[in-house]
Amino acid sequence: MNIGSIDRSAVSDLGWLHRISPTAKLAAFTLVLAGVVVTWNLFVACALLILLAATAISARIDLRLALALAAYPALFALIFAAASAPDAMTGTTIVVKAVSAGLAAVTVVLTTPYPQVFAPIQRIVPGIVGDALLMTYRTTFLLLGKLGQLIRAVRLRTGIRGAHPIRMARATTTALGALLLYALDLAQRDYDVMRLRGYSGRLRIPLPHGASRGRDMALLVAAACACAVSVAWRLGWHALNPYSWLLPLAPSVLLGVAATIRLTNQEVAR
């Protein structure tokens, strides 16, 4: 989990999706997720996945990072599918649904700074929960960096190599213990800073508007259409199933166009 790269991607202003308002992106994410949850048709699930891939490519986010993050749930979905799915078709659908939902979440996170992602949640939960949520993300960076330093220091001091897995495990757990102490001291220091700056029990995070209201609406309409198609196929499967194979075609064309434009832009930039 490379949180540093995620944050860099989120705060950069690379593509059109970065300029959409966070509220519109979260609403669109909810609609697409509803579409993924509703469907049990493999073609519908694949169409949603291709549509999300086209969105990610056109938004100019780091594809390697996005795919690595989205593939992570696939690993566990694969195990779950292998362990419990009654047939290959259901198993494949489970994995495609997992990757689709993961890619939808990752696309939002890679194009939206984290305070704006968490701000809507922060507004509805008790103050302590929302504020701790915002601080957790920031603290994770500090701890990840510190863990790397601690492991390196412990290895250098003990001269550990790969041939001593038990000693290495012991050194790693010692590093985790030291990290725990560091984390608790960090909490104490954060408390001092918050007290000094007059923290009164609520952090205020403003939600910015998008660059264009029209683009926000277009994204919402597209997400609503994707959700509507999924619901329609679930409700009217008797009539619509014979045409399921048509569904991935339109997103595939979009994917091709997005990939071509991105490749052309990269060539021009070189």
Partner 1 sequence: MSHIHIPDGVLPTWLWAGGWVLTLVFVFFAGRLAERNDVRRKVPLLAVVAALMLVAMSSEIVPLAYHVNLTVVAGVLLGPVLSVIAAFIVEVVLAMLGHGGVTVLGLNTLMIASEMVVGWALFRGLVYVLTRRRVRAATFLATVLTLAFTTTLLVGLVAVSGGGNATARETGALDPTTMSFGNPLSAGVFRAGLFDSAGTRAAPAQQPGRPAAEPSLSVARFAAVVYTLGPVGWLLEALISAWVLGYVARVRPGLLWDGPLERRDHAVIGDGQVSG
Site for partner 1 in 202-221 (CB under 8 A): none
The amino acid at residue 71 is: A
Query: Does 250 help bind partner 1 (rule: CB under 8 A)?
Result: no
Query: Does 75 help bind partner 1 (rule: CB under 8 A)?
Result: yes
How close are the terminal C-alpha atoms of the chain, in Å? 30
Which of 54-62, 214-222, 229-237, 254-262 is the region at the interface with partner 1 (rule: CB under 8 A)?
229-237
CA distance 253 to 137: 37
Using CB under 8 A, which residues numbered 151 to 170 contact partner 1? 169-170
- Find the angle CA(180)-CA(184)-CA(190) to the nearest 5 degrees: 140
Using CB under 8 A, which residues numbered 40 to 59 contact partner 1? 40-43
Which of 65-73, 206-214, 221-229, 260-268 is the region at the interface with partner 1 (rule: CB under 8 A)?
65-73
Tell whether the torsion through CA atoms of 65, 70, 73 and 78 is positive or negative. Answer: negative
Q: Which is nearer to partner 1, 142 or 261 (CB)?
A: 142
Asked if residues 210 and 19 have their Cβ atoms less than 8 Å apart, the reply is yes
Tell me the closest approach of the beta carbon of residue 220 to partner 1, in angstroms: 18
Tell me the closest approach of the beta carbon of residue 257 to partner 1, in angstroms: 25
* C-alpha distance from residue 74 to each of 39, 46, 61, 240 (Å): 17, 14, 20, 28
3-state secondary structure of 15: coil
Using CB under 8 A, which residues numbered 99 to 138 contact partner 1? 101-103, 105-106, 108-109, 117-118, 121, 125-129, 131-133, 135-138
